[in-house]
Amino acid sequence: MRQFIVLGHDAPTAATFSLDDIAGGAGRLDVLCRCVNSAFFLSHAIRTDVRCRLVLADTFTIRFEGRELRRLNPDERSTAALVRNALEQRENAIGHMETETSPGVYLSRLGTEETFANAAEEGTVIELHEDGQPIRETEPPDDPVFVLSDHNDFTSAETELLENTATTRVRLGPERLHADHAITVVQNYLDTAGYTAY
């Protein structure tokens, strides 16, 4: 399974935001929604072998499961609606127990450290960072978990956690990419790894 963890530093932790202002009043939730869409969407299909987690302000984690997802559409607003629906049910997320808020969408009160720990048990954690080694020079593991940040850099605490959790740090190219574009590049890399013809 392929996994992505996106850290949303300014993300909302309550369902009080307007779907008409996800790029401002919702703390750049638009960036996170584009990441979810890049993780799952193909042309006229959804990747079922993908798990994507959004860590919201180190307070909540929303987990999206490709095999179970319903009502995910390729626009930021509908994805933001799934996030808002999840946060409307945040009182049901008790301790570290998840609650399913819609098909394939789960909410938990897990911060960054706990989410990283869970991911490390499920696969090989890989940090996406411009100072890493070129991804073309790395052999993709069977169950990669790629960690990336939203429009902000990793904090010093997150960097320290990644140093203790990630097995490697890779870069996708010579230029910094938007988070959602980075996910698309990773997906293409994984899709074509091992193939000599296209």
12-52 per-position pLDDT tens digit:
999 999 999 999 889 899 999 999 999 999 999 999 999 99
Q: What percent of the chain has pLDDT over 70?
A: 97
Please give the average per-residue pLDDT across 137-161, as a whole number.
94
pLDDT at 123 > cutoff 90: yes
All structural domains of the chain with their residue ranges: 2-108, 117-191
Please give the average per-residue pLDDT across 42-63, as a whole number.
96
pLDDT at 196 > cutoff 70: no
Q: Compute how many other C-beta atoms are within 10 angstroms of the C-beta atom of residue 160.
A: 11
Q: How many residues does the chain have?
A: 198
What distance in Å separates the CA atoms of residue 99 and residue 93, rounded to the nearest whole number?
A: 6
Please give the average per-residue pLDDT across 6-10, as a whole number.
97
CATH of 2-108, one of 3.30.230.10, 3.30.540.10, 3.40.1280.10, 3.40.630.10: 3.40.1280.10
- The closest of 119, 107, 104 to 46, measured between CA atoms, is 104
Whether 117-191 and 2-108 are alike in CATH topology: the answer is yes
Q: pTM for the whole thing?
A: 0.95
Contacts of residue 193, Cβ cutoff 8 Å, sequence gap at least 6: 140
pLDDT recorded at residue 198: 43
Please give the average per-residue pLDDT across 109-114, as a whole number.
96
Query: Does 148 appear as a known binding residue?
Result: no
Q: Categorize the per-residue pLDDT at 98 as very low, low, confident or very high, splitting at 50, 70 and 90.
A: very high
Q: Categorize the per-residue pLDDT at 94 as very low, low, confident or very high, splitting at 50, 70 and 90.
A: confident
Apex 16 CA angle, 14 and 108, nearest 5? 20
Protein fold of 117-191: Alpha/beta knot (3.40.1280)
What is the residue-averaged pLDDT of the chain?
94
pLDDT at 62 > cutoff 90: yes
Contacts of residue 182, Cβ cutoff 8 Å, sequence gap at least 6: 128, 148, 172
pLDDT recorded at residue 195: 52
**Residues 148, 153, 158, 164, CA torsion sign:** positive
- The closest of 130, 140, 139 to 170, measured between CA atoms, is 130
pLDDT recorded at residue 149: 96
pLDDT recorded at residue 91: 93
In tens, the pLDDT along 66-91 reads 999 998 999 999 999 999 999 999 99
